[in-house]
Chain A
Amino acid sequence: MATILPNTALESVPVAPVETPWRRFVTDFMASPLAIVGLIMLVAIIAIALVAPLISPQNPYDLNQLDILDGNLKPGSKAGPGYTFWLGSDDQGRDMLSGIFYGLRISLGVGVMSSVLALALGLSVGLLAAYTGGRVEGFLMRVVDIQLSFPAILVALILLAVLGEGTWKVIAALVTVQWAYYARTVRGTALVERRKEYIEAALCLGLSHRRVMFRHLLPNCLPPLIVVATVQVAHAIALEATLSFLGIGLPITSPSLGLLIANGFEYLLSGKYWISFFPGVALLLTIVSINLVGDQLRDVLNPRLQK
């Protein structure tokens, strides 16, 4: 097909290698030393959680490896089988360091899993509400309002009291508590994006509503969602630890950090601080690192804060 207007002046201009949005994002993110620290910590924690069975001195849940005579040892004590309890041992003779490694696995797993599910649910609800508007939106957002008017811990407690114990039940409770945050965030952004001309233009191309919603509207609503998701993972982990500490969270067979803390709390006043203290530190570091990364993400992805 012939060029109608031969644009000779422009013909020779090559397409400039413009910095990609991704590269700009990375540069912006790395601008804060604190965020880098947070990111390194987070990556390390995730790596530990992933390879916990390989790097733990002991499998704390293999009864063959435990010796009750090693119970309640101070940090740095030598164990019977020849390794050192760097962070001490609990009353069953389980190595705290190994316990924390395994606990991170469960805490992170439950936190991420519940956040992903809550994200999927909240995102669909929020997007649908913003896109359809009218009664559907009114109904969905009132449900969100009601959900958010109850304290998270109360909802989770009631749900777990009804559902009983179990990993998936804890995840279900966390999803119930969290989805509304995502729904509200997505709806807010989607309402703004919905009015933009490219959505109208996409409709004018004859694309289906589902396609416009997920292909055109959704990607433009992601930045604030990423921020909420990071913060909510930290929330989920903290809430799960709280529930486990209270004894209604995860079953004793999948010991999360919260369970470890609960485990040692009776010994706190007898001077055996390490059973609760070190899992607590691990939980703290995890949440702090996630929040550091989340804060920086918020700064980078929020156009209003850009200098």
Chain B
Amino acid sequence: MPDPTLRVENLVTAFHTRNGTLRAVDGVSFEVGRGKVLGLVGESGSGKSVTGFSIMGLVDPPGRIDGGRILFQGRDLVGLPEEEMRALRGSRIAMIFQDPMMTLNPVLRIDTQMIEAVKAHHPAIGDDEARSRARDALAQVGIPSPEARLKAYPHQFSGGMRQRVAIATALLNKPDLIIADEPTTALDVTIQGQILFEVQKLCRQTGTALIWITHDLSVVASLADEICVMYAGKIVEQGSVDDVLDRPTHPYTHGLLRSVPSANPRGQPLRQIPGMTPSLLSLPSGCAFRLRCERATGECVQVPEMTAPMAGRRVRCFHPLLSTVPV
């Protein structure tokens, strides 16, 4: 079997602060194959963005990767020299960010920024060739009159259009892996729908692997092939999207799905998971979710291991919900 585009094994990324060490990503493992979409789901602070930045090799101090391997096309990215990492960034691995208002440099024209992105990795390419690539990429993500739009400044675009430009920039060098960090969170649902549609099609056409980081389960449901649910730096449940969303086995996943307003009966108070996401500095011993979990027992003060309660599913829980009716 050929190597998957990306295989992350036991990744540990920790922030060494004055108040102690925060393990923002704690033993995370997953893989994404060519043309596949992996949804990385979790609440704020669950470590999903840090996972993305770890793959890019852009964890800012005091954070650093303390363990594990990130195999990109069979090559370990952890400890790769900065020069080689930079050659991959933006070329083989691209990233799309959450806020389209902020990801484009406000003082540079779109063409300047896109041509720069091409030429950073292909110094031999001339300006004209780079420009026509930029124009093609804009057309590809559905921007009307791309030639004229190239000359515009970021502030002349709407939020949705800007995110398209950001996606087009990520596509410029035809990457093998795109990490999308909540790219549609700041957009309204219709624009979100269009962009999801385009991204999905692009992945199928080009074989690009995609990691879609989000807290929005409905986005994952429509887009991803596989899903990883993260809680306090650990993956608590992993499996194919339909399975996990239809029959969650981890109490946290179950709670998340029950919190989606449309899953609630009308007129009743909205359901929620009791308590707050714990601070990474003072995690409860054992299972990090145990204090908010209605199924917790004395056993949960031990750290649960990943188990495979059914085919194609991995869960980190002593008491998985195996017989529940769908949410």
Contacts and interface: CB of A to CB of B under 8 A. Distances in A.
Interface residues of A, number: 33
Interface in A196-237: 196-198, 200-208, 211, 215-216, 219-220
Interface stretch (A5-13, A106-114, A150-158, A264-272): A5-13
Nearest to B94: A204
Given A3-B140, A7-B142, A220-B106, A204 B90 contact: yes
Contacts, number: 98
B61 to A, nearest CB: 8
User: Interface extent on B, as a size class?
Assistant: 35 or more
Given A14-B145, A196-B102, A219-B108, A207 B153 contact: no
Given A5-B194, A5-B198, A201 B166 contact: yes
Contacts of A196: 102
Interface string B165-200: 010010000000000000000000000001001100
Nearest to B99: A197
B201 interface: yes
Interface in B76-131: 86-91, 94-95, 97-99, 102-108, 116-117, 120-121
Contacts of A54: none
Interface string B19-32: 00000000000000
B223 interface: no
B141 A197 contact: no
Contacts of A81: none
Contact of A4 (B149, B169, B201): B201
B296 interface: no
A216 B105 CA distance: 7
A41 B228 CA distance: 67
Interface string B137-173: 0011111110011001100100000000010010000
B202 interface: yes
A11 B144 contact: yes
A4 B90 contact: no
Contact of B91 (A18, A21, A203, A206): A206
B327 interface: no
A16 B151 CA distance: 12
Contacts of A197: 97-99, 102-103
B301 interface: no
A192 interface: no
Contact of B141 (A4, A134, A201, A219): A4
Contacts of A26: none
Given A1-B139, A21-B153, A13 B144 contact: yes
B139 A198 contact: no
B112 to A, nearest CB: 9
A4 B140 contact: yes
Given A11-B144, A220-B106, A205 B136 contact: no
A63 interface: no
A205 B117 contact: yes
Nearest to A16: B156
Given A201-B166, A204-B95, A1 B136 contact: yes
B56 interface: yes
Given A5-B194, A206-B91, A201 B103 contact: yes
Contacts of A2: 140
A5 B89 contact: no
A282 B152 CA distance: 45
Contacts of B89: 203-206
B270 to A, nearest CB: 32
Interface string A174-210: 0000000000000000000000111011111111100
Contacts of A7: 142-144
A15 interface: yes
B322 interface: no
B152 A4 contact: no
B106 A198 contact: yes
A11 B198 CA distance: 17
A207 B120 contact: yes
Contact of B116 (A215, A219, A220): A215
Given A1-B139, A18-B156, A198-B102, A206 B202 contact: no
Given A204-B58, A204-B90, A15 B142 contact: no
10 nearest A-B residue pairs (beta carbon): A206-B90, A205-B90, A206-B89, A197-B102, A5-B142, A204-B95, A201-B103, A219-B107, A10-B144, A15-B148
Interface of A: 1-7, 10-11, 13-16, 18, 21, 134, 196-198, 200-208, 211, 215-216, 219-220
5 contacts: A4-B140, A15-B152, A196-B102, A205-B120, A215-B116
Given A4-B201, A15-B156, A197-B98, 7 more contacts: A4-B140, A5-B194, A7-B142, A11-B144, A21-B153, A197-B102, A211-B116
